[in-house]
Amino acid sequence: MPARRNAAGGHPRDQRVPGPIDDEWNQALPPPKLGAQALARAVVAALQDGVEDVYPGDVAQEWLERFRENPKVLERELAGMAG
Protein backbone atom coordinates (compact mmCIF):
# COMPACT_ATOMS: atom_id res chain seq x y z
CA MET A 1 0.00 0.00 0.00
CA PRO A 2 1.64 3.28 -1.01
CA ALA A 3 2.04 5.93 1.65
CA ARG A 4 -0.39 8.83 1.69
CA ARG A 5 1.20 12.04 0.52
CA ASN A 6 1.25 15.42 2.18
CA ALA A 7 -0.50 17.88 -0.11
CA ALA A 8 2.09 20.61 0.50
CA GLY A 9 5.29 18.78 -0.34
CA GLY A 10 4.49 15.28 -1.48
CA HIS A 11 6.16 13.75 1.60
CA PRO A 12 4.76 10.55 3.06
CA ARG A 13 2.20 11.08 5.83
CA ASP A 14 3.03 7.95 7.75
CA GLN A 15 2.12 7.71 11.40
CA ARG A 16 4.14 6.09 14.17
CA VAL A 17 2.40 5.94 17.54
CA PRO A 18 4.54 4.16 20.11
CA GLY A 19 3.55 3.56 23.68
CA PRO A 20 5.82 4.83 26.45
CA ILE A 21 9.48 4.53 25.51
CA ASP A 22 12.01 3.27 28.04
CA ASP A 23 13.97 6.51 28.42
CA GLU A 24 14.66 9.20 31.00
CA TRP A 25 11.48 11.14 30.10
CA ASN A 26 9.24 8.19 30.98
CA GLN A 27 10.95 6.90 34.12
CA ALA A 28 7.91 7.64 36.29
CA LEU A 29 5.56 5.61 34.09
CA PRO A 30 4.92 1.97 34.97
CA PRO A 31 5.84 -0.85 32.58
CA PRO A 32 5.43 -1.99 29.92
CA LYS A 33 7.72 0.37 28.07
CA LEU A 34 9.11 0.09 24.59
CA GLY A 35 12.88 -0.10 24.18
CA ALA A 36 14.55 2.23 21.69
CA GLN A 37 15.83 -0.68 19.60
CA ALA A 38 12.36 -2.24 19.42
CA LEU A 39 10.91 1.09 18.31
CA ALA A 40 13.60 1.50 15.67
CA ARG A 41 13.05 -2.04 14.35
CA ALA A 42 9.29 -1.47 14.13
CA VAL A 43 9.70 1.84 12.27
CA VAL A 44 12.27 0.44 9.83
CA ALA A 45 10.14 -2.65 9.16
CA ALA A 46 7.09 -0.45 8.54
CA LEU A 47 9.03 1.73 6.10
CA GLN A 48 10.44 -1.30 4.28
CA ASP A 49 7.02 -2.95 4.08
CA GLY A 50 5.20 0.24 3.04
CA VAL A 51 3.03 0.22 6.17
CA GLU A 52 1.55 3.66 6.72
CA ASP A 53 0.56 3.44 10.36
CA VAL A 54 2.46 1.53 13.01
CA TYR A 55 1.68 1.19 16.72
CA PRO A 56 4.72 -0.48 18.28
CA GLY A 57 4.57 -1.84 21.80
CA ASP A 58 1.89 -3.31 24.02
CA VAL A 59 0.53 0.04 25.23
CA ALA A 60 0.21 1.41 21.69
CA GLN A 61 -1.60 -1.75 20.59
CA GLU A 62 -4.03 -1.33 23.49
CA TRP A 63 -4.59 2.33 22.56
CA LEU A 64 -5.29 1.34 18.96
CA GLU A 65 -7.81 -1.30 20.04
CA ARG A 66 -9.53 1.13 22.39
CA PHE A 67 -9.52 3.86 19.72
CA ARG A 68 -11.29 1.54 17.33
CA GLU A 69 -13.89 0.75 20.00
CA ASN A 70 -14.57 4.36 21.09
CA PRO A 71 -12.19 7.16 20.08
CA LYS A 72 -13.78 9.82 22.30
CA VAL A 73 -13.42 7.76 25.48
CA LEU A 74 -9.73 7.14 24.75
CA GLU A 75 -9.23 10.82 23.91
CA ARG A 76 -10.66 11.86 27.29
CA GLU A 77 -8.57 9.29 29.17
CA LEU A 78 -5.34 10.34 27.48
CA ALA A 79 -6.13 14.03 28.06
CA GLY A 80 -6.67 13.25 31.74
CA MET A 81 -3.26 11.55 31.92
CA ALA A 82 -1.58 14.62 30.45
CA GLY A 83 -2.79 16.83 33.23
How high is the pLDDT of residue 14? 77
pLDDT tens for 48-61 read 999 989 999 999 99
Q: Where are the domains of the chain?
A: 15-82
Residue type, 63: W
CA-to-CA dists, residue 83 to 39, 51, 59, 67, angstroms: 26, 32, 19, 20
Kindly report the pTM of this predicted structure. 0.71
pLDDT tens for 7-23 read 556 666 678 889 899 99
